[in-house]
Structure 1
Amino acid sequence: MKRTWFSMITVTGIMMLVILITPLGVNGQRRGQEEATSQRWSPVSIGLYVGYDNQPSGEVAGAQMRIPVLPSGTVELISGANITFLNQLKEYQFNLEAVYNTGTTAGGLYLGGGLAWRNTMFGSELTAGRRTVRGYSIVGGLKAGGIAGTPFSPQLEVRWTFLKETALNPRVISLGVNVALW
């Protein structure tokens, strides 16, 4: 008899513990409740950046557009174009990359890669013809969320471009700012 009484107290105690830790707000079967709010897409953003390209040793200015692929913004497509300013010469580059963001819309690290096209003169003479070569790029950076509640978010980025048909492999480090469009 003693053992049965102890077992009944143990089972009752376990049941009370389960009742205490079970969530109380169970609304799964109720009618007339509000619809669950859907997750908003992260905004498309556009931005400008300046930096330095250490392979041809020149300053860089560029623009980019960041388009979220997933609603959370963890995967983005980045389309960007920049100009490298050299002595009596300008080189143009276009990138299309996919990046994975480790943070949220409030900022974080990102890493990715994609395609690159660079238009420049090949040869030592300024009269040499321009040519566009293609390749791929690896990009990584750090972006912050909006500054003091504004839609402006700064970024620090490193991009390494590997071009086919040439030994030129530009490495750009840049600092920029993006603005969310909505």
Structure 2
Amino acid sequence: MGSSRGVAARIAGFLGDVSARGLQAALVTFNLAGMAGSSPAEIFSALVEQFCPEGGSVDEGIARDAFMETVVELADAGIADMSSLTPEQMQTVLELYVAHTIEDRIYNDIGIKGVEIPADAGAAQAVQDQLHEFILGGVSDAFSEAAIDFAAIDPNTIGQTMERIYGAAFDILEALGEEEAAK
């Protein structure tokens, strides 16, 4: 999941830049200064093109799809103004993105390995919803353990921080899965 980790690091870097220098200055870095008054969905949609352009490997496709899914969920997550993001909202953006990348990777593996899913669309949606909540909970736990300070995040260690979060999230999900299987 190297592409996803790289995009997560770029998102974290952007959010840290917004926190440290303000939205306008952070957007200038990506030649998007004119978007300062735009909605978070519009800004992040433009960043999708910057961070993960179309084409590429399966991993790059997963990164792009996860970013677009995250953009769709921003309003539901209460993120309405990019110029006044709280640290909690910044973490939510990253949690959503990381959860979607893990979820998309699992779906890809299911497709490749031919895992059987329910034939009924409602039952399949219920399984998908449960999986999403399970993954999001594990990712949220991993972020809580990491305790990222976006105002002081070091651009040189963002990649390492995202690596630790992905590792911790997978460890948490594995432990939860084993616990659930033992029931």
TM-score scaled to structure 2, two decimals? 0.25
Which of these two proteins has the greater Rg computed from alpha carbons? Answer: 1
Query: Between Structure 1 and Structure 2, which shows a larger proportion of strand residues?
Result: 1
Using CA pairs under 8 Å that are at least 6 residues apart, name the structure with larger relative contact order, 1 or 2: 2
* The structure with more helix, counted as a fraction of residues: 2
